[in-house]
Amino acid sequence: MSASKRVGTLSCLVLAAAWPVGQALAEDERGGAVVLSPVQIFAEEGVAGVPGSASIIEEETIERRRPVTTLDMMQSLPGVTITPEDPLGRRPNVGIRGLNPRRSRKMHLMEDGAPIQLAPYSDSSTNYQPAPRRLRRVEAVKGSGTIKYGPQTIGGSVNYLTRNPPREPEVIVYGAAGNLGFADTNVSAGGTYGNTGLLVDFIHQGQDGHKRDERQNINDFMFKSVTELEPGHRLTFKATAYNESQKGGEAGMKEDEFRNDRRRNFLPKDRFDVERLSGQIIHELALTNRTSVATNVYANTTERTSRRQASESDELLNCPDGVDAEDFANADQCGNQIRPRNFRVMGIEPRVTHDHQAFGYENRLVVGARYHDERAIREQFWGNSPGTEFRQCEKEDGSPDCRRQVFEVTSTAFFAQNTTRIGNLSVTPGVRFERWELDESDQRREDPRVTRSRTFNEVLPGIGLSWDGFAGMEIFGGVHRGLSPATTDVDPDPEIGNIFEVGVRTTPAALFTGEVTLFYVDYRDLIASERDAFGDPRNFNAGRARMRGVEVAGRIDSWAFYDAPWNVYLLANGTILDTEFRADVEDELEKGNEFPYAPRLSGYLALGYEVGQFDARIGVQYVGKQFVDNENTRSTTEDGTEGRIPSYTLLDASVNYRATPDLTLFVAGRNLTDKTYIANREGGISPGVRRQVYGGFEARF
Could you please report the per-residue DSSP string of 3-34? HHHHHHHHHHHHHHH-----SS--B-TT--B-
DSSP secondary structure letter of residue 147: G
Q: How confident is the model at residue 254, as a pLDDT?
A: 94
Between CA 619 and CA 605 the distance in angstroms is 6
Between CA 123 and CA 377 the distance in angstroms is 10
Q: Which residues are CB-contacts of 206 (< 8 A; sequence separation ≥ 6)?
A: 181, 182, 183, 184, 215, 216, 217, 218
Between CA 50 and CA 118 the distance in angstroms is 29
Closest by CA to 460, choosing from 429, 486, 488, 489, is 429
Burial per residue of 338-362, b for 16 or more beta-carbon CB atoms within 10 angstroms, e otherwise: bbbbbbbbbbbbbbbbbbeeeeeee
Q: How confident is the model at residue 250, as a pLDDT?
A: 87
Between CA 200 and CA 86 the distance in angstroms is 27
Q: How confident is the model at residue 359, as a pLDDT?
A: 86
Between CA 243 and CA 305 the distance in angstroms is 12
Between CA 16 and CA 19 the distance in angstroms is 9
Q: How confident is the model at residue 3, as a pLDDT?
A: 41
Tens digits of residue pLDDT in 166-192: 999 999 999 999 999 999 999 999 999
Residues of the chain with pLDDT under 50: 1-35
Q: How confident is the model at residue 34, as a pLDDT?
A: 45
Tens digits of residue pLDDT in 37-79: 768 888 776 787 788 888 999 999 999 999 999 999 888 888 8
Helix, strand, or coil (residue 619): strand
Q: How confident is the model at residue 537, as a pLDDT?
A: 65
Closest by CA to 62, choosing from 150, 196, 186, is 186
Please report the domains of the chain, with CATH numbers, ordered by start residue. 19-700 (2.40.170.20)
User: H-helix or E-strand containing 525?
Assistant: strand 512-531
